[in-house]
């Protein structure tokens, strides 16, 4: 029963729409006395399109306590980066807390100072739905990375990291982080990602969502007064591309159940702002770490899943490119009864052993 509940939550979380549900709010409750939430304001933020934003807000949560060396520099910081449709709450579920942050676990909050931002365009950070709508700068992944860097260096005075770990979009930004700031992190762990530009099936399904929003009559070039909803009918494609077929069959073993699941997905999508969603999926326009993989200096352990359709293993991308990373390693986890497709990223009990190896210097 517990696994069944987790599976359904994983499917809904694939949209990050599940975090609007009451159950998700309850799951985020914490008794950790070191947990703090705050906002950092990056003044005069320069976007890659040339726009200068006077006050860019990045919301974040920290766990643990900073440790400092003789020079006052923080020595135990870890940065966690979430996926395209999520927020930092993706790392604050009971399962994540139990498997990663509890005493004796690989990111034990008694040992590490953990920083979990809401990426630019999402959650409590600055985003189109704050009021600017489509006049909000058309950010790319590089802007998201830069905003998080300013949060660390200017806001939290963190100049060195023990680890950068990211899932899905966060995994892609982990590759970028290693290239942009090659001496800043001891270790990097991109999960459920590939270091190549968007193309093929990965670009196609994103364009289905982007096109559905832009062609929705109610979208009105982003200037709607009532949020349009026709575009939400295409959102089940996200479940198809991020889920595992066997787990989905377990959750929807008959037509009636599958229909209810479809309607639930559509209803959850309607709770999100379409301009925010549009920007989420368009922001991968500048992603292409392949040419600069050799610049990465930290130990890197990439983890992908054989049943992940977004990062199709039959493309042999990782086998071809991991050798370009000086201290790079790669593991492809096979499909098992505990696989959830792309959403295996939400199950740290599956990939945690590799994090332990990485943190131990392996």
Q: Do 219 and 305 share a structural domain?
A: no
Q: Do 211 and 180 share a structural domain?
A: no
User: Which CATH number covers residue 172?
Assistant: 3.40.50.1820
CA distance 140 to 279: 9
Number of domains the chain contains: 2
CA distance 87 to 90: 6
Integer CA distances (angstroms), 127 to 89, 220, 308, in order: 17, 19, 29
Q: Do 236 and 121 share a structural domain?
A: no
Q: Which of 211, 243, 278 marks a domain boundary?
A: 278
Nearest 5°: the CA angle 101, 113, 81 is: 75
Mean pLDDT value across residues 87-94:
98
Pair type for strands 77-81 and 36-46: unpaired
Nearest to 195 by CA among 294, 321, 300, 345: 321
Going by pLDDT thresholds of 50, 70 and 90, the confidence category of residue 31 is confident
For 259, the token pair is 């229909």
Q: Is position 233 within any domain? A: yes
Mean pLDDT value across residues 157-166:
98
* pTM of the entire predicted model: 0.91
For 11, the token pair is 């499917």
| Count of alpha carbons within 13 angstroms of residue 89, beta-carbon side | 22
Residue spans of alpha helices (H) in the chain? 2-13, 22-27, 94-96, 141-150, 169-180, 200-214, 236-242, 245-251, 255-269, 274-282, 317-321, 348-359
Q: Is position 312 within any domain? A: yes
Tens-place pLDDT, residues 177-219:
999 999 999 999 999 999 999 999 999 999 999 999 999 999 9
Average pLDDT over the chain, rounded to an integer: 92
pLDDT score for 16: 36
Mean pLDDT value across residues 76-101:
98
Q: Do 232 and 145 share a structural domain?
A: no
pLDDT score for 39: 98
Containing structural domain, residue 261:
203-278
Q: Do 245 and 106 share a structural domain?
A: no
Strand partners, 68: 74
Mean pLDDT value across residues 31-53:
96
For 220, the token pair is 């009105």
What is the enclosing helix (H) or strand (E) of 302?
A: strand 299-305
Nearest to 189 by CA among 162, 159, 166, 220: 166
Strand partners, 59: 39
Q: Is position 283 within any domain? A: no
For 329, the token pair is 């390693």
Tokens 């604050």 correspond to what residue? 92
Instruction: Determine the distance from the C-alpha atom of residue 201 to the mean position of all C-alpha atoms in its chain, rounded to a whole number.
Output: 19
Q: Is position 94 within any domain? A: yes
Going by pLDDT thresholds of 50, 70 and 90, the confidence category of residue 10 is very low
Q: Left, alpha or beta for 8 (phi > 0: left; psi -120 to 50: alpha)?
A: alpha
Mean pLDDT value across residues 329-356:
95
pLDDT at 18 over 90: no
CA distance 199 to 211: 16
In contact, 77 and 113? CB cutoff 8 Å: yes
For 26, the token pair is 């309850």
């Amino acid at each position: 029963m517990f696994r069944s509940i987790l599976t359904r939550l994983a499917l809904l979380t694939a949209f990050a729409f599940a975090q609007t549900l009451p159950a998700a709010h309850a799951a985020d409750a914490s008794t950790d006395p070191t947990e703090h939430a705050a906002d950092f304001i990056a003044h005069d933020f320069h976007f890659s399109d040339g726009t200068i934003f006077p006050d860019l807000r990045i919301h974040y949560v920290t766990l643990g306590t900073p440790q400092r060396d003789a020079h006052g520099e923080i020595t135990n910081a870890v940065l966690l980066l979430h996926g395209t449709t999520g927020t930092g709450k993706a790392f604050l579920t009971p399962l994540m807390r139990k498997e990663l942050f509890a005493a004796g676990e690989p990111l034990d909050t008694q040992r590490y100072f953990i920083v979990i931002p809401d990426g630019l365009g999402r959650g409590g950070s600055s985003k189109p739905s704050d009021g600017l709508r489509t006049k909000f700068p058309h950010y790319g992944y590089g802007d998201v990375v830069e905003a998080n860097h300013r949060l660390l260096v200017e806001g939290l005075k963190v100049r060195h990291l023990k680890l950068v770990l990211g899932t899905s979009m966060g995994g892609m930004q982990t590759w970028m982080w290693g290239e942009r700031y090659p001496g800043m992190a001891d270790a990097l762990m991109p999960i459920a990602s590939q270091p190549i530009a968007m193309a093929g099936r990965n670009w196609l399904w994103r364009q289905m969502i982007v096109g559905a929003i832009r062609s929705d009559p109610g979208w009105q070039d982003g200037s709607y007064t009532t949020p349009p909803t026709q575009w939400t009918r295409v959102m089940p494609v996200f479940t198809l591309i991020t889920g595992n077929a066997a787990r989905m069959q377990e959750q929807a073993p008959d037509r009636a159940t599958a229909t209810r699941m479809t309607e639930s997905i559509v209803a959850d999508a309607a709770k999100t702002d379409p301009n925010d969603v549009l920007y989420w999926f368009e922001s991968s326009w500048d992603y292409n770490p392949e040419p600069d993989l050799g610049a990465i200096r930290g130990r890197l352990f990439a983890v992908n899943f054989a049943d992940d359709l977004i990062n199709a293993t039959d493309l042999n991308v990782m086998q071809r490119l991991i050798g370009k990373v000086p201290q790079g390693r790669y593991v492809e986890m096979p499909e098992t009864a505990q696989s959830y497709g792309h959403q295996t990223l939400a199950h740290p009990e599956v990939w945690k052993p590799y994090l332990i190896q990485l943190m131990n210097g392996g």
